[in-house]
Amino acid sequence: MSEPSRRGGWPAPIVPVNHVEPVPRRIRAVLGGETVVDTTAARYVWEWPHYPQYYLPLGDVLAGVLVAEEVTEDSPRGAVEVHAVRVGDQVRHGAARVLRASSVDGLAGTVRFDWGAMDAWFEEDERVFVHPRSPYIRVDALRSTRAVRVELDGVRLAESASPVMVFETGLPTRYYLDRTDVDFSHLLASDTVTECPYKGRTTGYWSVDVGRGVQRDLAWCYDFPTRQLLPIAGLIAFYNEKVDISVDGVLEQRPATHFG
């Protein structure tokens, strides 16, 4: 087998903390069947460099859902008033942080909701998972005729001459393969479900056993990905960090990421 090569994703952009940009999309959040906020004037705010949060105009929040909890916290953006969010009999304590005034331009009179406190978030009419999508992250799914082989401890798990390659900023290239190209005799179905802001919610995970014990959740699929990633629908990918992948006969190095 050929010597390992390195194949990573595009470098992840480093965005300065407290950088603010307007969000050109309609943003909505839903809790308990009610639209808690509906705005076309949200701001992206990078509280840390990797991805932004939504800061939302207080005037676009449903009246009566914010309940002051008489707690004020310091933040790099100014004094934050902590609020609960209440819709009917559902209460999410500490789920909203209100900035009446801010040292950062454009943030006075805004609120940030804890993402997980809402039942669902939408950009325009498409649901978004996990956190807001960064305008600096790009994800492309491209069909290819390059030969891809997946192994673990020398055992072949999959081999394909028609993969779909997913290029996502800051991550290694992922190889999505037809199910008919995967050897399921080594795969064990898992009940794991994960979500991705750019691809959606997974509908299947598989652990792998090649005779040296079960290695959990090495492969996954999206049966119903986001519209932009439709070419990967129903296909299976493996973590490059945890298996050995060869492309056109060249073994790739296992990349070091937070999935490793």
The domain boundary, picked from 128, 152, 167, lies at: 128
Q: What is the pTM of this model?
A: 0.86
- Same domain as 37, residue 93: yes
Residue 162 placed within a domain = yes
* Residue 109 belongs to a domain: yes
| Residue 105: CATH number of its domain | 2.170.150.40
Residue 38 lies in a domain: yes
Burial 208-226 (b: 16+ CB within 10 A, else e): bebeeeebebbbbbbeebb
pLDDT in tens, 200-230: 999 999 999 999 899 999 999 999 999 999 9
State whether 106 and 190 are in the same domain: no
Tokens describing residue 23: 């969000």
User: What residue numbers bound the domain in which 207 lies?
Assistant: 139-251
In a domain, residue 174? The reply is yes
Residues 44 and 113 placed together within one structural domain of the fold: yes
Task: Indicate if 24 and 103 belong to the same structural domain.
Answer: yes
Residues 123 and 143 occupy one common structural domain: no
Whether residue 1 is contained in a domain is answered as: no
- Residue 2 in this model has a pLDDT that exceeds 60: no
Choose one of 80, 100, 128: the last residue of a domain.
128
Considering its fold, how many domains does the chain have in total?
2
**Residues 109-156 pLDDT 10s:** 999 999 999 999 999 999 999 999 999 999 999 999 999 999 999 999
Q: Assess if residue 115 is contained within a domain.
A: yes
Q: Which letter does DSSP use for residue 240 in this model?
A: T
What does the pLDDT read at residue 1?
A: 39
Same domain for 167 and 220: yes
Q: What does DSSP say about strands 236-238 and 174-177: parallel, antiparallel, or unpaired?
A: antiparallel
Listed as own residue / partner, the contacts of 200-203 with beta carbons closer than 8 Å and 24 or more positions apart are: 200/127, 200/129, 200/224, 200/225, 200/226, 200/229, 201/129
- 254, 260 in Cβ contact below 8 A? yes
